[in-house]
A and B are shown apart, each in its own frame.
Chain A
Amino acid sequence: MTEKRTMHPLLKWFYRLGAPAWFYPFAGKLLPWLGGLFLLLLVPGLYLGLWHAPADYQQGDSFRIMYVHVPAAWLSMFVYFAMAVSAVIALVWRVRMAEIMIISSAPIGAGFALIALVSGALWGKPMWGAWWVWDARLTSELILLFIYLGIIALYNAIDERRSAGRAMSLLTLVGVVNLPIIHYSVVWWNTLHQGATVSKFDTPSIHIDMLIPLLLMAAAFKVFYGWAMLLKMRAHLLEQDLHCGWVKERIFNAQKMPRKNSTGRVANQGHKHE
């Protein structure tokens, strides 16, 4: 408590992230890099997965749906984990930015949970013989989607943003018990869904030519999440802080500058908050 005079660089970074006037342009600078990196991973991932990888010995070409299904399912859980970490920060340190991070992430997580469920159903019909079965893996993933929707609904049901953020953070934290259930559902109970392939370390149960595009796609999806989340966080910040000094300053500066493009890019230059 007493060492506040000489702040640790990491702590300083943490505090800066919480300041909208610093975070907003910082996220704006990060966005094109993340977007570029996403495309850089997505294009070879799709090419290697859909054209180059050999067909499966049992499923033929149908297995290629896993290049969308598996990264989407992983991401739906990864996003939730990130939200839960953010929820602890929001509840213990009362950081508003952490709440904004959660509400910005929830629709993305919900979207990818839905993609995982729909792509799984499309694969399940020809392979298993059923669109949907109520086994533990499918059901727990569906519950994850419902938790996402519940988080979004709760946040929007409360008018005051900070109370909404606190309630939402609490719900996010409670829902985290579902994550181990999703992951271990195929181990704890006998399910129709197959067990884990990649996180199994003893024997390689996927061919290397099939694995590389899967990992590329997984990385691409993660980067996409970062990109979409920052975009959404910036929008939430502008909306909530419409009457705050830093937004007014940005608008004022943007009007003063010659308008080169419609995005806030021009306003970012010559706008130093340090």
Chain B
Amino acid sequence: MSPLRKKRLYTLLLLLSGVGLATFLLLQAFSENMMFYFSTSEVQQGKAPQGRDFRLGGLVVNGTVQRDPTSLKVRFDLTDGAANVTVEYNGILPDLFREGQGIIANGRLNAEGIFMAHEVLAKHDENYMPPEVADSLKQAAKNVPQPQQATP
């Protein structure tokens, strides 16, 4: 490579590393805001904002979903394995909502520590399989109570 081209290449490498470093610092500074949701443990520890909306993520605890027979109101517990938070929601739930499913709810805590959600999103995991495979997996894991991955 000729000296001129070598110089150009080094200039480009310098440019790239500079831009990369700047982006890295920027993302570090914004890392709190890049998080899409708070976990239930963080809410229990009081890390979640009070008096304004935030998003709460967790797995729906088995057997805690209570539906109001006369309206769309629904109540369930979310967990991350360490702490539980009760969520109340009035509206249509997404297709993937079920017990054991990862959920992200948007809303705020009320005075009793219940999370009043105005939006519930289902988080899909990265596993794709036909129903028969899912059934046989479930059979194999019947004695193990943990049905899904630890994080939503």
Q: Give residues in A with beta carbon < 8 Å to B.
A: 1, 54-59, 62-63, 66, 88, 91-93, 126-130, 133-136, 170, 173-174, 176-177, 181, 188-192, 194-197, 200, 205-207, 209-210
Contacts and interface: CB of A to CB of B under 8 A. Distances in A.
Nearest to B39: A190
Interface residues of B, number: 43
A136 B36 contact: yes
B62 interface: no
B121 A57 contact: no
Contact of A135 (B20, B36, B126): B36
A57 B126 contact: no
Contact of A129 (B19, B35, B121): B121
A129 to B, nearest CB: 3
Given A57-B129, A127-B94, A177-B20, A190 B124 contact: no
Given A190-B35, A190-B37, A176 B130 contact: no
Given A128-B122, A129-B122, A173-B15, A190 B57 contact: yes
5 contacts: A127-B96, A128-B123, A130-B121, A188-B27, A210-B128
Interface stretch (B4-12, B44-52, B107-115): B4-12
A174 B127 contact: no
Contacts of A93: 5
B78 to A, nearest CB: 14
A57 B130 contact: yes
Nearest to B27: A181
Contact of B126 (A1, A92, A170, A195): A195
A153 B11 CA distance: 25
A16 B93 CA distance: 60
Contact of B130 (A56, A136, A174): A56
Given A190-B37, A194-B124, A173 B12 contact: yes
B130 A209 contact: yes
B31 interface: yes
Interface of B: 2, 5, 8-9, 12, 15-16, 19-20, 23, 27, 31, 34-37, 39, 57, 92-97, 104, 119-135, 151
Given A57-B131, A59-B96, A129-B119, 15 more contacts: A1-B2, A56-B130, A59-B95, A62-B95, A91-B8, A128-B121, A129-B97, A129-B121, A173-B16, A174-B16, A194-B123, A194-B126, A197-B128, A205-B128, A207-B130
Most buried by B among A188, A190, A209: A190
B136 to A, nearest CB: 11
Given A128-B123, A177-B19, A206-B129, A189 B96 contact: no
Contacts of B39: 190
Nearest to B123: A192
Contacts of A133: 36, 121
A200 B126 contact: yes
A55 B131 contact: yes
A191 B121 contact: no
A5 to B, nearest CB: 16
A63 B2 contact: no
A209 B12 CA distance: 44
Contacts of B27: 181, 188
B15 A174 contact: yes
A205 B31 contact: no
Nearest to A137: B36
Contacts of A54: 130-132
Given A92-B9, A173-B12, A207 B94 contact: no
Contacts of A194: 123-126
Nearest to B5: A92
